[in-house]
Amino acid sequence: MSRVSLIRARIIVEGDVQKVGYRDFVQKAARRLGVKGYVENLRDGSVQIVCEAEEPVLKRFLEEINVREGFIMVENVRILERTEARGEFELFEIKYGRLEEELGDRLGTAVAYAAAMHRDVKEMRGDMKNMHEDLKGAITNMHIDLKETIKDMHADLKGTIKDMHSDLKETIKDMHSDLKETVTNMHVDLKETVKDMHADLKGSIGDMHSDLKEGINGVQSEISGMRREVNERFEEMAKRYDAISAELVRTREELTRAVDGLLKLIEEFIRERREEERRRRK
């Protein structure tokens, strides 16, 4: 790549571009594309980039740094100067300001990302709480419906038995009246008739008892099935709750490790800056 084919550009980027890690983002994009120069923060809150590259590479570089990602919100990218490259840069670097400013910038970035992670965890807890309330409401409604169903079935069964008892009582009463009127003249026939009626009545009652027993067994089977279904759903919800709880624990551990690593990086950065200032004073 010859020097004549390179373009030198001074670029101003405006928006939320300080204390959000934007300079690191620009440096990574520049080094990936082979752009050389530097990036620095300006006092008015914007970011300045001075760089050298070929025209097609510079165009792609401008597209990549005009980004809205995470906390980075670029509003405007302006090229203030375009001149022939001087070939003074060996690579692309970040120009840092005073130690206090850089420390504040890095801490601001860390606090912003930590706050975002805290919001995500808080929203996850809210979702779990809503899931718990929905599960509780569903179980309560199922219990109410089951209770009402059993109550209605009991009332219907009780009414049916009562009606059958009344009908049987009236029938026996009528039969007794008829038998009383004809007992003198039809004693033999009446004896056989009563015997046959007794047998028929016994069979009818037996059949009614069997039908009633089968109905009750069917109801009990349905209730058992509903109970198994409720238990299965509750176990499934419990498993989901355990999985979400485990994920929350892992998220909290990852967040703790990330914050610890960030603090170590900050301490190492402060030590390096102090060493650099000490060397400069010497």
Positive or negative torsion for Cα 271, 276, 281, 282: positive
Integer Cα distance of 31 and 38 in angstroms: 11
Q: Do 93 and 26 meet the contact criterion of CB atoms below 8 Å apart?
A: no
Say how far apart CA 117 and CA 19 lie, in whole Å. Answer: 17
281: annotated active-site residue = no
- Choose the catalytic residue: 3, 10, 23, 240: 23
Domain ranges of the chain: 7-95, 116-272
pLDDT band at 42 (very low <50, low <70, confident <90, very high): very high
Q: Which position among 41, 86, 252, 274 bears the catalytic label? A: 41
| 99's tokens | 């130690």
227 annotated active-site: no
CATH 2.60.120.650 at 7-95, yes or no? no
- Minimum mean pLDDT range among 27-41, 182-196, 198-212: 182-196
Task: Convert the pLDDT of each residue in 148-166 to its tens digit.
Answer: 842 874 576 377 427 735 7
Residue 50 three-state SS: strand
- Say which amino acid occupies 167: D
> Mutual orientation of helices 187-281 and 99-182 as an angle, nearest 10°?
180
Outline where the chain has alpha helix (H): 22-33, 55-65, 99-182, 187-281
pLDDT digits (tens, 9 = 90+) for 109-143: 665 565 555 555 456 566 657 655 773 775 367 46
